[in-house]
């Protein structure tokens, strides 16, 4: 499958590498293509490539938004709505603002970054997921407790949610994905980040995830 | 032990009943004492009593704030800072506002209800906990998966947090309590409520809790 990844930081590179290893043709979209030379050399696979945000959006049958949240809308506008139209956009970004020292979410409570993206690109099928775990766990859930922990998914299009649930299982081995319904539920998983930070501080590492015991 | 519970709704009555059964002398503070006639008849135990917010605060060596969040500060002011001074206040309340139809938190992100209470009553040792589970689970964690799931605790006074951790184990049988540190971490557990609501909607019941798989 052709996959375009918008954003070339830690999450984008980790997702990109895992997807190439699964046999997919992955183009990472970035503001600075030379920044990805090292990634391309490390991965050393013709199915990996780098380009602009627009190149990545054109390339992908499916798009992943792995930008830092503060730059998400700008990057997606640069990618171009015509290049995103009708496609599934897997949104893993978080609305984090560290500008005042302590962490705050720049959108919260009555709105979410997932919803902002869906409103800005109404013809795109935004599916929020993978935003509640560290990058290493996103692509390798079985490395922790044999995968016995949960992921959440939000999005207005039920068929798109189900399609992405299938990809998460096939690509990375996620076993338990809790469908939270429409994109307004992205508020709840974005707001979980506040607890992730505090649990991280308490445990001293990020190799953990939540399980809904029921 | 003498325990004063501020708030006589579902959480207050459930906590009160469980504590009386553990042998404690519990006074539920309420705006409307006759409302508690039924609770007193059901429990049928001399160690249970009802009174004003002030009566409950005077009675308790330890205080539990189980009010609906919107009325928390008003109820605690009615209880009287002199009656609370120097005591541990276990705060289980949530800053929920349903006034505009959909749920929103009336304080979030850069502040929390736990912090508001601590600022309003600087001589009280506010310890936020039990605010991430349904009332029935608060007092009976072993009813779900033999207690193999987590509770969180926040508060500025480390000795008070440890004392409350001891009570949670002794009173209700909580086995795993994650210490998140100072009262600013109450933001993170109050914000978890957004996810609790969505998971509740997805599962169709509230008999669940989170476990931090690590």
First-last CA distance in chain A:
36
pLDDT at B65: 98
Note the ipTM here.
0.96
Whether the predicted pLDDT of A103 surpasses 90: no
Helix, strand, or coil here: B47?
A: coil
pLDDT above 90 covers what percent of chain B? 97
pLDDT tens digits, one per residue of A156-207:
999 999 999 999 999 999 999 999 999 999 999 999 999 999 999 999 999 9
pLDDT tens digits, one per residue of A27-76:
999 999 999 999 999 999 999 999 999 999 999 999 999 999 999 999 99
Distance between CA atoms of A77 and A84, rounded to whole angstroms?
10
- Domains detected in chain B: 2-203 (3.40.50.720)
A206 to chain B, closest Cα gap in Å: 9
Tally of CB atoms within 10 A around A32:
9
Q: Residue A36: which of A53, A49, A54, A24 has the closest Cα? A: A49
Cβ contacts of A199 on chain B, cutoff 8 Å: 178, 180, 212
In the predicted model, what is the mean pLDDT of residues A83-101? 95
Distance between CA atoms of B186 and B128, rounded to whole angstroms?
6
Look up the pTM and report it. Answer: 0.97
Q: What is the mean pLDDT of chain B?
A: 97
Whether the predicted pLDDT of A4 surpasses 90: yes
| Chain B, nearest residue to A143 by Cα | B214
Whether the predicted pLDDT of A22 surpasses 90: yes
- Of the partner residues B110, B192, B197, the one whose CB lies closest to the CB of residue A195: B192
pLDDT at B57: 98
In the predicted model, what is the mean pLDDT of residues B36-64? 98
CB contact under 8 A, B180 and A202: yes
Token pair, residue B179, equals: 């210490």
Whether the predicted pLDDT of B160 surpasses 90: yes
A30 to chain B, closest Cα gap in Å: 30
Per-residue pLDDT band at B22 (split at 50, 70, 90)? very high
Q: What is the mean pLDDT of chain A?
A: 97
Instruction: Give the H/E segment covering residue B58.
Output: helix B53-59
- The chain A residues in contact with chain B (CB within 8 A) are 102, 104-105, 108-110, 144-145, 148-149, 152, 178-181, 185, 187-189, 191-192, 194-195, 197-199, 201-203, 205, 207-214
B193 to chain A, closest Cα gap in Å: 8
First-last CA distance in chain B:
36
pLDDT at A174: 98
The DSSP secondary structure of A83-148, one letter per residue, reads HHTTSEEEE----EE-TTSS-EESS-SS--HHHHHHHH-TTSEEEEESTTS-HHHHT-GGGTGGG-
pLDDT at B100: 85
pLDDT at B99: 87
The answer to whether the Cα torsion of A101, A105, A106, A109 is positive or negative is negative
pLDDT tens digits, one per residue of B61-117:
999 999 999 999 999 999 999 999 999 999 999 999 988 888 899 999 999 999 999
| Chain B, nearest residue to A191 by Cα | B191
pLDDT at B104: 96
In the predicted model, what is the mean pLDDT of residues B22-47? 97
In the predicted model, what is the mean pLDDT of residues B4-10? 97
| Chain B, nearest residue to A141 by Cα | B213
User: Which of B109, B110, B147, B148 to mutate to test binding with chain A, by most A CBs within 10 Å of its CB?
Assistant: B109
Q: Residue B53: which of B24, B82, B31 has the closest Cα? A: B31
Residue listed under structure tokens 């978890």:
B192
CB contact under 8 A, B210 and A213: yes
In the predicted model, what is the mean pLDDT of residues A116-126? 98
């Amino acid at each position: 499958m052709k996959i375009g990844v918008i954003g070339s930081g830690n999450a984008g590179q980790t997702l990109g590498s895992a997807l190439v290893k699964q046999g997919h043709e992955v183009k990472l979209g970035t503001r600075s293509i030379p920044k990805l030379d090292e990634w391309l050399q490390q991965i050393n696979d013709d199915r990996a490539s780098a380009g602009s945000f627009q190149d990545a959006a054109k390339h992908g049958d499916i798009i992943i938004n792995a930008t830092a949240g503060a730059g998400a809308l700008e990057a997606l506008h640069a990618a171009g709505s015509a290049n995103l139209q009708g496609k599934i956009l897997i949104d893993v970004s978080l609305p984090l603002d560290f500008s005042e020292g302590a962490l705050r979410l720049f959108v919260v409570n009555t709105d979410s970054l997932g919803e902002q993206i869906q409103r800005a690109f109404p013809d795109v099928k935004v599916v929020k997921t993978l935003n509640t775990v560290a990058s290493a766990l996103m692509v390798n859930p079985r490395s922790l407790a044999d995968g016995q922990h949960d992921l959440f998914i939000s999005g207005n299009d039920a068929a798109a949610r189900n399609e992405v649930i299938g990809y998460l299982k096939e690509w990375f081995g996620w076993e338990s994905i809790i469908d939270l319904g429409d994109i307004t539920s992205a508020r709840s998983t974005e707001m979980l980040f506040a607890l992730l930070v505090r649990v991280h501080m308490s445990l001293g590492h990020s190799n953990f995830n939540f399980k809904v015991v029921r």
